[in-house]
Amino acid sequence: MNDAAKQLIRDAMAKASASQTASAYAPSNIALSKYWGKRDRARNLPLNSSLSISLAEWGSHTQVVPSKDGRDRVTLGGEDLSLDTPFAAKALKFADLFRGEDGSAKTPLWIETSNTIPTAAGLASSASGFAALTQALCGAFGLSDHLSEAQMSLIARLGSGSATRSLWHGFVRWDKGTQEDGSDSFAQPLNLQWPEFRIAILPVDVGPKSHSSRDGMNHTVATSPLFASWPDQAEADCQAIETAVRAQDFDTLGALAEANALAMHATMQAARPALSYLTTESWALLDQLWQARKEGLQAYATMDAGANVKLIFLGRSTDDITHLFPQAQVIEPFKTL
Ligand code: DP6
């Protein structure tokens, strides 16, 4: 079966010029309405649409340079990686989409990436990493003028589903699409400003994840009896969350985002064997938040495939949040836009 992303690259390549150095930046993102479960694992095609907020200056800078010494090289945060490390292997496999998967006449590349996400925030960077790598590869192979951002988002999806949403700042919606070749499964920005919108990361466990989100979602889809209700509920949540964002109805948005995240975690806890990313410390933070909310705090939580808790709130609650949660790392998603 033909793949839409690969076809886009082939078509653009036919018009493109020789390879050159190119660099790109992409922000990381946090889903307010989660992507959890694939209908096609090879293409990262989701079972439901999702909606995220990008993390402004927290993201990945990537430069792609045609290598001078004829060998591939991958550098992360200034350190040269052995090419058989998972990070280097994944980056080079993705680059093969652009330079030929059959190994013949490959252009040797130096892929240099650095993340601006504080390590202490414990946020994975595959979303910003693959989004920045897609844009840098498009630049390096002269495809940037031949592909739209939406088409680049479709290509970034092959690296990691959540990368689909990291091509833009602000709120971004990834429509699940219905086509088998993935041609209608890409993201689009909502193109709206909400300067008061804030996110805080409450780091709980900043080490590597016990299970990747990929393994976690595949295991949940395969074994959790609660998963059956997820795709329809998640699709409805995504729609309702988009409506709340457009109306800048913060409490509706927050309540929906928190319920959506907890429902996703419930599907995992029912998996066999159970999968739990949240720890007692995560639950303690949620209890603290829920208590403060009873007392009037307007803030809501969301959690991904890790123990960290992320809060969403509006600028006027910042002092309350940093007082209650001194460890909070506050992000202003619209500050630099
Ligand atoms: C819980 O995008 O990391 O963060 O497509 O397999 O690379 P792959 O998965 P990934 O999954 C993200 C899962 C999530 C929810 C979300 O970001 O929507």
| pLDDT-derived band at 70, boundaries 50, 70, 90 | confident
Give pLDDT tens digits for 154-165. Answer: 999 999 999 999
Task: Quickly count: other Cβ atoms within 10 Å of residue 34's Cβ.
Answer: 30
Give pLDDT tens digits for 279-333. Answer: 999 999 999 999 999 999 999 999 999 999 999 999 999 999 999 999 999 999 9
How far, in Å, is the centroid of ligand 1 from the Cα of 235?
16
Alpha carbons 151 and 9: distance in angstroms, whole number: 9
Residue 206 has pLDDT above 90, yes or no: no
Domain ranges of the chain: 4-189, 197-331
124 Cα nearest atom in ligand 1: 3
Residue 69 has pLDDT above 90, yes or no: no
How far, in Å, is the centroid of ligand 1 from the Cα of 318?
28
Task: Quickly count: other Cβ atoms within 10 Å of residue 272's Cβ.
Answer: 11
Angle between helices 86-99 and 126-140 (to 10 degrees): 30
Radius of gyration of the chain (CA): 20
Q: Which residue has a Cα nearest atom 7 of ligand 1?
A: 160
Residue 33 has pLDDT above 80, yes or no: yes
Residue 124 has pLDDT above 70, yes or no: no
Q: Which residue has a Cα nearest atom 4 of ligand 1?
A: 304
- pLDDT of amino acid 99: 87
Task: Enter the tokens of residue 101.
Answer: 């998967």
| Cβ-contact 4, 155 below 8 angstroms | no
Q: Average pLDDT of 88-94? A: 95
Percent of the chain with pLDDT over 70: 96
209/324: higher pLDDT: 324
How far, in Å, is the centroid of ligand 1 from the Cα of 82?
25
| pLDDT-derived band at 105, boundaries 50, 70, 90 | low
- pLDDT of amino acid 104: 52
50 Cα nearest atom in ligand 1: 18
Which residues are CB-neighbours of 145 under 8 A, at least 6 positions away? none
Exposed/middle/buried for residue 2 (C-beta within 10 Å: 0-12, 13-18, 19+): exposed
Least-confidence region, from 101-105, 161-165, 215-219: 101-105
Considering the domain delimited by 4-189, tell me its CATH architecture: 2-Layer Sandwich (3.30)
Alpha carbons 152 and 163: distance in angstroms, whole number: 10
Alpha carbons 332 and 43: distance in angstroms, whole number: 32
Task: Enter the tokens of residue 42.
Answer: 């090879």
Residue 103 has pLDDT above 70, yes or no: no
- Of 36, 55, 173, 213, best ligand 1 pocket probe by most atoms within 8 Å of the beta carbon: 213
| Cβ-contact 335, 277 below 8 angstroms | no
SS3 167: coil
- pLDDT of amino acid 123: 79
CATH topology (fold) of 197-331: Alpha-Beta Plaits (3.30.70)
Q: Which residue has a Cα nearest atom 9 of ligand 1?
A: 214
Selection from 23, 26, 45 nearest residue 138 by Cα: 23
Q: What backbone phi and psi angles, to 5 degrees, belong to 245? A: -65, -45
How far, in Å, is the centroid of ligand 1 from the Cα of 104?
32
Angle between helices 230-247 and 250-269 (to 10 degrees): 160
Q: Give the binding-site residues of ligand 1, using a 6 Å CB cut-off.
A: 31, 34-36, 44, 50, 126, 160-162, 213-214, 304-305
Percent of the chain with pLDDT over 90: 85
Residue 188 has pLDDT above 80, yes or no: yes
In the chain, where do the E strands start and end?
22-33, 38-40, 45-46, 50-66, 73-76, 79-80, 109-115, 171-174, 187-189, 197-202, 299-302, 309-314, 329-331
Type and span of the H or E element at 139: helix 126-140
Instruction: Report the chain's mean pLDDT, rounded to a whole number.
Output: 94
- pLDDT of amino acid 210: 77
Return the amino acid letter for 17: S
Residue 334 has pLDDT above 70, yes or no: yes
- Of 28, 29, 35, best ligand 1 pocket probe by most atoms within 8 Å of the beta carbon: 35
